[in-house]
Chain A
Amino acid sequence: MQNAIMTRERAARGGDEVAFTTLLAPILEPGYRLACAMLHDPQAAEDAVQEAALKAWRKLDRLRAGAEMRPWFLGIVANECRSTRRSGWWAKVGALVTDRPVEAASDSVLTGMEVRRALRALEHRSRLVLVLRWYLDLPVEEIARVSGLSVHAVESRLARATRELRTKLQAMEVRNG
C-alpha cells in the first residue's frame, strides 16, 4: 500500500497528472469540508479547493519526500480560504452569501446561522483549529502541521477558541431572550 503511494508520488512529481489526481482523491472531501466550514459559501469553497489543488500540483516539489499529503494540502486550502476572505467583494457581500438561511427551523435556542456567525467572528487561526478538530476530527498533531503551529500552541488555541465561541453564543442567547 505504502509502496503504491510512493510510486504514485514519484510519478506525480514527474508530471503525471493522473497519479497526482489519484493521490488527491481521498483528501479532496476533507479539503472541501474545511473550505465550506471556513467560508460558509459552497461555491466559494469549491473555488478554493480547485485553486488549492492547482497550487498543490504546481508546488508538489515542495512536499518533502515521504511526508503526508493531507496536512500539506489542507494547509493550502486554509490559505486559499484566507485569501478569499481578504478579497474585495467578500468584505462587502460575504455576509449576503453566508447568512442565507439554509436549514429548516429547529427547536434549538440558537440557530445554525447564529453559530456560524459566532464562528466567523473568531480570528482565522482560532476558527481553523476549531474546524479541524471538531468538524474534521483531526488529531492535534496533524492540526499543528496544517496550521503551522506547535502542538502546544494548537492545544491552547483550541481551548481559547472554545471559550470565545461559548461567550459569543451566550451573548446571542441573552439577546434572543
Chain B
Amino acid sequence: MDSDRQLHAEVVSALEAVTPPAPWLASSIGESLRAHPRRAGTRFTNHRLSVAIAGVLVPLLVVTAGGLFAIRSLIHPVSAQPPRGDVARYVAMLTRDKLVLDEAYGGKVSVDDWSTSACVSLANQECPAYLARVEGGWQRMQYDLDRTTPPDQFKAEHERMQANLRAFIAALGLGVAAFNAGDSQTLNRVFNSAMQLQDQILWIEAYVVYESGDPKPARDTATATYQKLVARDYDNLHLPALFSSLFTCTLRDAACTASIANTRSALRAFDADLRASRPPDARLDYIRGTLLGGLTIELANLDQVDAASASGNEKALESTRLSSLHAQWSVSLYTGWILYAH
C-alpha cells in the first residue's frame, strides 16, 4: 500500500463488491411502514375526558369494524392473495438462509441426510466447532423468520418452522454442552432424536419453495379440507415443545408432566378427528392408517413416561422418553406426507 489514495481505492473496490443494487428496497420499506402506522404525538391531558371518549369510541369502532368485515366477507368470500412480491421475497430469504446452512454443514443438507463424522465420538475435537457452526446457521434462519411477517399462504408453515427451530437450536446447544462435559448419552440423543426437528424444518422449507414456484394444478376441495383438519390437529400437539420438555425431563418434573398432559389430550382429539373423517383418496386413507398407529403408540409412550417419572424409576424414564421422542418422529413424518407430499 503506497499511498492513502491507493488504500482508499482498494477499500472502495472491496466494499463495492458486497454492495449489490437493491432497487426494491424503497418499495419494501414503504410496504413495511404502511403495515406499522404511527400515531401523531397528540396526548390527552384530561384523564376523565380520555376515558369518556374511549368509552364511546371503542365500542363504536368495534361495531363499525365488525360491520365492514361482514360486508367485505359478503363481497369477497375468499381472502385476497398477498402480492406476489411478498412470496418471492420470503422464498428468497429462505433460499439464502439455506445456502448459509449448506456452508455451515460443509455440504448440501437435506431431509433424512444428517450423518456426520464430526461427532461420532467424544474423541473428535472438531465436534464442538461443527455443532456451533451448524447452530449458528440455524440461528440465522431463526433471526430472519422472527423478523419477517410471512405471506398469508405460508403463515402456518412459518410458525411450524419457528417452533421446530426453537427446539432444535436448544438441542444443539445441549449437544455442545454434552460434548464438553464428556456426556456421550446426551450427545447421542441429539443426533438420534433431535434430527427429526431438522428434518421438519428442511421439509417445510422445501415445501414452501416448491409451492411458490410455477403455478400448480388446483387442489380439490376435499383434499384441501382434509389437509386443513390434519394441519390444525397436528399443530395442536405442540410436538416441538413436548420434544424440548422430554429432552430434559427429570423425575417428577412438573413442567414435563404438564407438557405431556397437553399433548395427550391433543393426541386424543387428533385420533378422534382422523377416525371420524373420510380421506378423499386411497393414498391418504393408507397414510391415515399409519398415522393412527403412530398416535396410539405415542399415547402409550406418554403414559409410560408419566408412570416412570411418578415411580422414580430413572432408567425407565430414560428409555420411555426415548421411545416417545422416536414416536413423535413417526407422527411428524406421516403428517408431513399428508401436508407436504403431493
Contact = CB atoms under 8 A, between A and B. Distances in A.
Contacts of A130: 11
A165 to B, nearest CB: 7
Interface in B93-112: 93, 96, 100, 103-104
A104 B205 CA distance: 32
A54 B26 CA distance: 12
A68 interface: no
A138 to B, nearest CB: 14
Contacts of A46: 22, 25, 28
A28 B26 contact: yes
Interface residues of B, number: 46
B2 to A, nearest CB: 10
A97 interface: yes
Contact of A43 (B33, B40, B96): B96
Interface residues of A, number: 59
A108 to B, nearest CB: 7
B37 interface: yes
Contacts, number: 146
A113 B17 CA distance: 9
Contacts of B20: 42
Given A32-B25, A91-B136, A131 B38 contact: no
Contacts of A98: 18
Interface stretch (B61-69, B113-121, B138-146): B138-146
Contacts of A33: 15, 19
Interface string A80-120: 00000001111111101110001100001010110110010
B139 A92 contact: yes
A43 to B, nearest CB: 5
A53 to B, nearest CB: 5
Nearest to B92: A43
Interface centre among B22, B104, B137 (most CB of A within 10 A): B22
17 contacts: A15-B39, A17-B33, A25-B26, A28-B26, A32-B22, A36-B19, A47-B147, A50-B28, A50-B32, A51-B147, A57-B33, A60-B38, A93-B103, A94-B136, A96-B133, A97-B140, A112-B10
Given A33-B19, A108-B10, 17 more contacts: A14-B40, A15-B39, A21-B30, A32-B19, A46-B25, A50-B29, A57-B36, A58-B38, A88-B139, A89-B142, A92-B139, A94-B136, A96-B103, A113-B14, A116-B18, A166-B7, A173-B1
Interface of A: 13-15, 17, 20-21, 24-25, 28, 32-33, 36-37, 40-43, 45-47, 49-51, 53-54, 57-58, 60-61, 87-94, 96-98, 102-103, 108, 110, 112-113, 115-116, 119, 130-131, 134-135, 162, 165-166, 169-170, 173
